[in-house]
Amino acid sequence: MLKDKVAVITGSTSGIGEGCARALAKEGCNLVINGFGDAAEIESLRSSFESEYGVKCLYSPADMTKPDEISAMFDLTVAEYGGVDILINNAGIQYVAPIAEFPLEKWDAIIAINLTSAFHTMHHAIPLMMKRGWGRIINTASAHALVASPNKSAYVAAKHGIAGLTKTAALEVAKDNITVNAICPGYVWTPLVEKQIPDTAKTRGITEEQVINDVLLAAAATKKFTTIEQVAALAMFLCSDAAENITGSLQSIDGGWTAQ
């Protein structure tokens, strides 16, 4: 069903975005990946999608804080593929501090990358999807699109904004065979999270097991991390025909965090 579709995935050189790109490539989607990182590693990833799955894969270095570069990413997509069918907005950054101490530049960057970039990508993608008569937009939100935590004002505000943007866009394109949904993960087991555990344990003077159970998974009823593969599988379902009447939804995958 997804063979030869064209997918643009922001923040896809690692983590959840890479997992979604891989899942789409397995189904035969041609890709545009995007994100920061070592140039050689990114090229290795890009070429691996082509060699392993027999699809085309472009890399766009577009900075998600710069609308002109986002526009250029879609120009590249249209020039190579003629349009776009799937958009996954996954780019994001984080910074933790109380509001009174929160650096203004960090607020601006988080809002720009985690929220405003999704508006810009959708602004370009929706007309292209309308021309094709089909589209799937998936925004990577967070449990923090539904609940708050202290010291994460910019991230929580951006993810709550993504929830509203998702619902609004879904209503606007509901009759155009385009769905717009958000995935709201809790803590996802990624290399970045894994690397933070020893430092957190040392800083707090607790064991690594306590960091996992009493800090990271404190709100998760299952006491399990969500995996990248689980998020990617949910994204794939939202791209499927079975999900054609699911739109404007916020799909929790958080081990019961937001059920409490």
**Percentage of residues in the chain with pLDDT exceeding 90?**
91
Between these two residues, 203 and 242, which has the higher pLDDT value?
242
Ordered by where they begin, the domains of the chain are: 6-187+225-254 (3.40.50.720), 190-224 (no CATH)
Q: What is the pLDDT of residues 152-196, one digit of tens each?
A: 999 999 999 999 999 999 999 999 999 999 999 999 998 778 888
Global pTM value: 0.96
* 59 carries an active-site annotation: no
Residue from 248, 258, 252 nearest 220 by CA: 258
Q: What are phi and psi of 62, to 5 degrees?
A: -50, 130
Alpha-carbon dihedral sign for residues 58, 60, 61, 64:
negative
Q: Which of 59, 81, 155, 187 is catalytic?
A: 155
3-state DSSP assignment of residue 185: strand
- 33 contacts 12 by C-beta, under 8 angstroms: yes
Mean pLDDT of 146-156: 95
Q: What is the pLDDT of residues 119-140, one digit of tens each?
A: 999 999 999 999 999 999 999 9
Sequence-ordered list of residues with C-beta below 8 angstroms from that of 13, at least 6 positions apart, any chain: 33, 34, 35, 36, 37, 41, 42, 45
Residue-level pLDDT at 200: 84
Q: Read out DSSP for 136-169?
A: EEEEE--GGGTS--TTBHHHHHHHHHHHHHHHHH
Residue-level pLDDT at 31: 98
